[in-house]
Structure 1
Amino acid sequence: MSGTAEVTESPNVMTAYGDAIAKAAAEAHVGPRDEMGERLVRTFLSLWENPELRPRLLEVVRSAVTGGPGADQMRAFMSSQLFGQVGENLKAAPMDMEQAAQELKVEPLNINAAAAQVWGVIVLRYILHIEPIASASTEEIVELLGPTIQRYLVG
């Protein structure tokens, strides 16, 4: 996938990815707060472990880091579309990052920090294939990263 086809397909992939993340975030939000970080990390990893979804996600991420339309799509997804989908899954009005931060009772910077942690793992594990994280089990990563995400999103 490249060029126009990549840009055309990317929104569909990001919408599907956003739907899955939004559902997980909504479930994590209504579940026990002390398990939110682990549930979110596990969900992100399960999406990336999906053999049908991963190749398309990789193309979207690669397109995003090279700039241009791919970066614009990822920025729009990370800054607004995702939070709109989370709001809908919480049976609330679509929200933005500020409203999501208010809902979680954290600063917006905490949400960015949590996203940066998760995306760092995604890049190291699925794009650069850096060991030992590339071959670590999902549970090892959940145990390692879950408490950090928990601290950012819950305190």
Structure 2
Amino acid sequence: MFVPFESLADHSRLWIYQSNKKLSAGEIDILSDALRAFTEQWTVHGQPMKASFHIAHNRFVMLAADEGYNAASGCSIDGSVRTLKALGQELNADFFDRTQVAFQLNDEVVALPMAELKSKYEAGLWTAKTPVFNTLVDTKGNLAAQWLTPAGATWLKRYLPKETISG
């Protein structure tokens, strides 16, 4: 059963999917309609899930379920994955490409391939203080504190000189 994203409890489980491209307004409309239909009928063992979604920065799909109402199961999670894979095919987007890291640079989302992280750091495109989008946030309540994290406080610190991290 669909509920507004804002009304979900903070303990609601969260899955964040990052598109490999910025989605157009038309693509957002298609995605929103499909995700609304999916969350309206999303079930776990025949019981409705209290669920919602949010699309952020025309690139991130946040799918959430209140597990205090009904806990997600492997089958219900598989259903969401199938839905996002099908939508990805329809929109010519990949929501499962884990080889890109998204940074917030000058109020824009810039996704960099992992293979280019070191050279882009050396070129000054990002620093230890550059906000990076954390797609591993696991609950709606953790979004505020963990969604945007300075690169130096993440696994990206391995690309930084030691004095940058400690200083």
TM-score (structure 2 length as normaliser): 0.27
Larger Rg: 2
Higher helix share: 1
Looking at both structures, which has the greater relative contact order when contacts are Cα pairs under 8 Å and sequence separation is at least 6?
A: 1
